Structure 1
Amino acid sequence: MLRLSLVTALTCCGAPALAQQFDAAAAFGAREYVEQASLSPDGRRLAYVSPTRGQASAVYVVPIDGSAPPKAIAAVDGKPERVAGCNWASNTRLLCTVFGVISIDGTLTVSTRIAAMDHDGGNMKVLSHTRGTGDLLGYDTFGGSVIDWNPGVDGKVMMMRQYVPESSTGTRLAQTEQGIGVDLVDVSTLQIRAVEQPSRDASEYITDGKGTVRLIGRSASKDYYTTGVRHYSYRRAGSTAWQPLSSVGPDRTGFDPYGVDPTLDIAYGVKRVDGKIAAFSLALDGTLGEKLVFAHPAVDVSGFARIGRNQRIVGVTYSTDVPSVEYIDPGIARLIQSLQKAMPHLPLVRVVDSSEDESRLLIWAGSDVDSGRLFLFDRTAKSLQELALSRPQLEKVKLAPMRHITYRAADGTMIPAYLTLPTDGATKNVRAIVLPHGGPGARDDWGFDWLTQFYASQGFAVLQPNFRGSAGYGDAWFQKNGFQSWRVAIGDVNDAGRWLIKEGIADPSKLSILGWSYGGYAALQSAVSEPGLFKRVVAIAPVTDLDRLKSENQNYSNYQEIVRFVGSGPHIEEGSPARHADSIKAPVLMFHGTLDRNVSVYHAELMQTRLKAAGVQSELVVFQGLDHYLEDSDARTQMLRKSAEFLKAP
């Protein structure tokens, strides 16, 4: 049985070394040892991305039979290039997506490229456009994305790519096409064949997983900004003519397609019905016959489960108190059930990748007290081999169970949440943290959470509320969103703190609040709205001024969508914590990265200035060169260590 050894993981791939004195901040702050993995079409090789120093990563390839150790075939330094993931284009050729956050004319943006290489790292090439001889009339930051890994020709992939027009003087060799098109690309020779001509308003193409483009999505725009409306068209099998399929609004009304099943000749997608998102299929035979695939009475459908190089849709994903999949493929359903039965301590099971014939499956399994591990399941031999641990440094570390609970809000509404008690076994009168999630169009879920587990290891009880304004529970729960309906959302967050006190879990003098992104906003706004409840506040990459959140996105194409989401009215003034810094009485600690595209570092800097002017004890830690997610083990370690010391201070 192959297993990437713990020794190999810690010495070759930059994972933190185990010391006799356990360093919890370093262990929990470390990036995952396997950040992404892919199985070769023949199922004989595994490629995976593993962190090194800072934001840097290396790409490794290892034979599944264990005949050779993992070999590093490529690496990036994270300044700014980072690896998003690698997948096999053939049994001997890999494609890796590299990205970086860069500044163009003072505006932060993400630039991507796709690099092709042999399984040993040789013959590396960048899959860029064949350009003309002119000068670009715009910025070419989108390096393309693979929309079909199995277009019927080995060693070729179908790519969606951006065409930027060029200007020239005295020649007609400039490239004049503009927009998003589709090319069939040979990943060894870089020869291309145009499949779909570039279209200025095209935003998405969906294939049948076998080399035929069946759907196109076009984004509606006004005055150079997208409106949030997308119009989809489809092709009948064997036809080149586009026919109308659906229109999807900002509120996700209308059929939103996710994929095509060529055998059934249908498109799978979601749409909102009776205030909740459900999964449907539409016939692509010209009738547009609609069928309900799955709907849950209490929660939204979140998407679809896929398998293999064809990205075949095999199930519908949703979450009640635990993440779940309603499988529509009976064979895969039986397989997952058997794996869950064989590994009862790892109930969260998903298929990461598979060989082309789906006889070998790359499986991830985990739980609330297991950060996850990779397995190879051979369906022919009926064997299950453990390959690697997601966080090897936590293998022998005691973790705290996460329990789903509900608590009563001030208006009587029952709020779902997750409670994690300290790992030392204490259950009453302990230090406690309310940890609101980001978004606000998001929700927390049951499973391993490195932030939660770190603070539990430090003696804190942690409560993660899915307050009103969270996604996943339907329209009525989402309200207008957590910004426009901030009084309801923040009220629920404050009630989470009161519940911890009422139940005797939290020592009222040691109750704190900590959040990231929208959660950071919620932490600060909670301290504004109820100054005496939380004794200490930690905000990571927080929104602090709602007007600023709108204006700083003016150079992005989705500016009007953000303006509409944040809204206008009295809540802009009342719901911006930087405008009410003098109401905050608790000490504040903030962290922010300088390359944050989601929320500008200006928000934290403004908050720090206002807090200091109001005489509030506060500190801002700025991480140079890091983005919204602080994907740097050293930075995360520093953040965890410093925040724990801050939260424990008398």
Structure 2
Amino acid sequence: MRIFYIVFILFTVLQLIACDGEKQIRIIPVEDFFKNPERSGYLISPDGQYISYLKPYKNKLNIFVQTLDGRNVTRITSDTSQNIGYYFWANNQNILYLKDIGAESGVSLFVVKKDGNNNRNLITYQNSRMRLITKSQAYNNKILVELNKRDSTVFDAYRLDINTGKLSLLVKNPGNFTGYFADYNGALRLALMSDGVDETLLYRNSEKDAFKPIVKNNFKTSISVLGFSKDSCIYILTNQNRDKKALVELNCNTGKEHREIYSHPQVDVSGGGFSESKHKMLYAGFQTWKNERSYLDKETKEMYKNLEILLPETEIKVIDQDSAEQKFIVQTFTDRNPGTYYLYSLNDQKLQKLSDVNSSFTENDMALMQPITYKSRDGLTINGYLTLPVNKGQRNLPIVVLPHGGPSSRNIWGYNAEVQFFANRGYAVFQVNYRGSTGYGKSFWIAGFKEWGGKIQEDITDGVKWLISEGIADPKRIGVYGSGFGGFSALHGLCFNPDLYRCGASYSGMTNLFSYLKGVPPYYKPYQQMFFEMVGNPEADADYFRNTSPVFHADKIKAPVLIAQGTKDARVNVNETNQFVLELKKNNIPVTYILKEGERHFFRNPENRIELYRQLDIFFTNNLKKY
């Protein structure tokens, strides 16, 4: 007999909610969940005198700049054809921003004055990709970028003058460099080299010196650079010689660990606060069932303590700060509240509200997101979350199973628009951090290798069956929905557990592992062997691919299906999705097919995004609520 365990945090709170089942919950319009926020992407100028943010202008996100008191606001961009997706303050006068130029692999970088003047294109490449090495302030009016314009399969490193647009080659990629990192003076001193399986971290004392290898690992052993200390040491997150990622100081001259700063016995250290001015780590961040910090700096600990007094019962996240680290953009959130942006002044310890993320509903309309833990059929501990609809009790509920994408990612506690959307419609939402998810250590991550359609899906199935056995789920009203790998999981569940799910929906989910691996973009080619080890080799593992790819098993599906796809999705072949839909229709399976011209892996047009969720609303209502 399989034994399952579940842990409900704040169980008494849920009990109180269940007792209040007679109250009617307001059904919130779809667009209120999924419209673009009124304001987002807040940043502060390096001198701490101006605040910037993204706001819709003629239905496209553009950059606005205001004084600290908010009295003087200037729209500095006026793009009406596409959203501005990423921007940052290069210095006190100039803002750099990126936007796509229409092609799947094209990009443009622009610079504009903070008053909106002198808006100009620095570089544009139709058939290239660009990555920013410098992601905050420029150094002497120059930033570092990676471009694959010389060779589409590799990225060279350049220094870009933001005044002239001149590019200067810093590192010509020998064919196996996969990343670069600059120090606090803007000097490129680290590079990452990979043959697809083994990775080597390279270091040099200055840009005049040659790179030398200092650490070599298999890709399963990761190193993420957080910053340079004052001497020849760097702060990294690594699981070298350990299962869980730790915050470590590495000596670049020797390639040896100088010291372990922080580790957690159960989960990876997932990030940390790094001070550019102090060249030191301020805290280590990790996720148990919620976000947590271990403070390494007394002043930082006191600052967060004061913020927790000013903003009680919320999660607090610093979004940006000025160069002096005296003014901070802060965001709050909970599982039931998308949150609010504030300006916080360290000197006088005062908060100034900037805007709500979404003011269309209140916390009382939203549902609690509770952590769960159970055992898989082979004894592995699986973590996840269960969100029960408000005032619906805890038994015999319709369920939407929501597997995450990746699969090298994880669900985290906090506000999730999809989760709250489904819960508001009366569904319990089940999220599983199956094996192969990140955050729980190296062994747990590796346990998901070559288990697409195997033990990963068994973990999801085991969790659903536990919900049924406990009486939480109504076995006649279980649906599954996911995007990306989550979409693959949804379709796989419909194929291979046809009696478990009443319906299923896939948003940009792959149907064919053969084409998924063979269609990897050229700039991912250096990682091909890694993909083969993680997912499988289309030639050596052909039987496995054929046995698990939904495209070959459409005849097994019994339940209604919804599929959403963009015509320009580079990861999921639209022709194969079209063929899959035709096969379902031949088998008389009800299909709702949402195909959007020009959209990519995920819908960027807000109208298309809202239509998707309206169709999902109708789809799950028709298939889960009528039974």
After TM superposition, the score normalised by the length of structure 1 is: 0.83
The 5 A counterparts of 1:105-504 are 109-128=104-123, 141-143=128-130, 145-147=132-134, 149-150=136-137, 153=140, 156-162=141-147, 164=149, 180-183=156-159, 185=161, 187=162, 189-190=163-164, 192=166, 194=168, 196-201=170-175, 202-220=177-195, 227-236=196-205, 240-252=209-221, 255-262=223-230, 265-286=233-254, 288-306=256-274, 313-346=281-314, 348-395=315-362, 398-481=365-448, 483-504=450-471
Deviation of the 1:217 alpha carbon: 2.6
Secondary structure of 1:471 counterpart: coil
Moved more, 88-97 or 593-602: 593-602
Taking the TM superposition and a 5 Å limit, the aligned residue runs for 1:543-622 are 543-553=510-520, 555-558=522-525, 559-568=528-537, 569=541, 570-622=543-595
Q: Which runs of 5+ in 1 are unaligned?
A: 1-20, 103-108, 130-137, 167-177, 221-226
Q: Taking structure 1 as reference, are residues 207 and 484 closer, same or farther at Cα in structure 2, changes over 3 Å only?
A: same
Distance 2:43 2:574 in 1: 35
SS of corresponding position for 1:371: coil
CA contact (8 A) 1:402 1:446 kept: yes
SS in 1 for 2:618: helix
Q: SS of the residue aligned with 1:388? A: strand
Counterparts of 1:497 and 1:470, CA distance in 2: 18
Deviation at 1:236, TM superposition (A): 3.1
Describe the superposition over 1:569-602 as per-residue Cα deviations: whole angstroms up to 9, x where unpaired: 2321221112111111111111111222233334
Aligned to 2:76: 73
Q: 1:110 Cα deviation (Å)?
A: 3.0
Distance 2:259 2:77 in 1: 46
**CA deviations over 1:244-294 (Å, ceiling 9, x no partner):** 2223433235x4434212357434342333333333221235574432222
Aligned counterpart, 2:30: 25
Cα deviation for residue 464 of structure 1 reads 0.5
Question: Does the CA contact (< 8 Å) of 2:105 and 2:126 recur in 1?
Answer: no
Which protein has the bigger strand share? 1
Q: Read off the aligned partner of 2:111 and give its amino acid letter.
A: A
Q: 1:599 to 1:51 in 2, by over 3 A?
A: farther
Structure 1 position 46 matched with structure 2 position 14: no
**1:84 corresponding residue in structure 2:** 85
Deviation at 1:610, TM superposition (A): 2.3
Given residue 302 of structure 2, which amino acid in structure 1 is its aligned partner? Answer: R
8 Å CA contact 2:190, 2:203 repeated in 1: yes
Greater mean alpha carbon deviation, residues 88-97 or residues 609-618? 609-618
In the alignment, the residues of structure 2 paired with residue 401 and residue 628 of structure 1 have an alpha-carbon distance, to the nearest angstrom, of: 30
- From 505, 518, 521, the counterpart of 2:472: 505
Task: Classify 1:542/1:199 alpha carbon distance in 2 versus 1 (closer, same or farther; 3 Å).
Answer: closer
Contact 2:90 2:138 in 1 (8 A): no
- Secondary structure at 1:427 match in 2: coil
Unaligned runs of 5+ in 2: 1-25
* Conserved 8 A contact 2:448-2:455: no
Secondary structure of the equivalent of 1:597? coil
Range that drifts further, 377-386 or 602-611: 602-611
User: For this pair of structures, how many residues does the alignment match?
Assistant: 589
Contact residue 307 and residue 353 of structure 1 kept, 8 A: no
RMSD: 2.9
Cα separation, partners in 2 of 1:358 and 1:51, compared to 1, 3 Å: same
The DSSP-based 3-state class of the residue aligned with 1:76 is coil
SS of the equivalent of 2:593 reads strand
Identity of aligned residues (%): 24
1:31 partner letter: N
Asked if structure 1 preserves the Cα contact closer than 8 Å seen for 2:91 and 2:137, the reply is no
Asked if the contact 1:435/1:513 (under 8 Å) is kept, the reply is yes
Alpha-carbon distance between aligned partners in 1 of 2:403 and 2:569, rounded to the nearest angstrom: 20
Q: How much does 1:531 deviate?
A: 1.1
One-letter amino acid of the counterpart of residue 218, structure 1? M
TM (norm. structure 2) is 0.86
Structure 1: which amino acid aligns with 2:606? S
The 3 A distance-change label for structure 1 pair 538 and 184 is: closer
* Higher mean displacement: 572-581 or 270-279: 270-279
Q: Give the corresponding residue for 2:9.
A: none
Partner of 1:518: 485
Aligned equivalents of 2:601, 2:551: Cα separation in 1: 19
- Seen in structure 2, the aligned counterparts of structure 1 residues 532 and 149 have a Cα distance that, compared at 3 Å, is closer
Query: 1:501 and 1:51, CA in 2 relative to 1: closer, same or farther beyond 3 A?
Result: farther
The answer to whether the 8 A contact 2:382-2:459 is kept is yes
Contact 2:89–2:137 (Cα < 8 Å) also in 1: no
Q: Residue 470 of structure 1: SS of its match in structure 2?
A: coil
1:467, CA displacement in angstroms? 1.5
Q: Judging changes above 3 Å, is the alpha-carbon distance between structure 1 residues 375 and 312 closer, same or farther for their aligned structure 2 residues?
A: farther
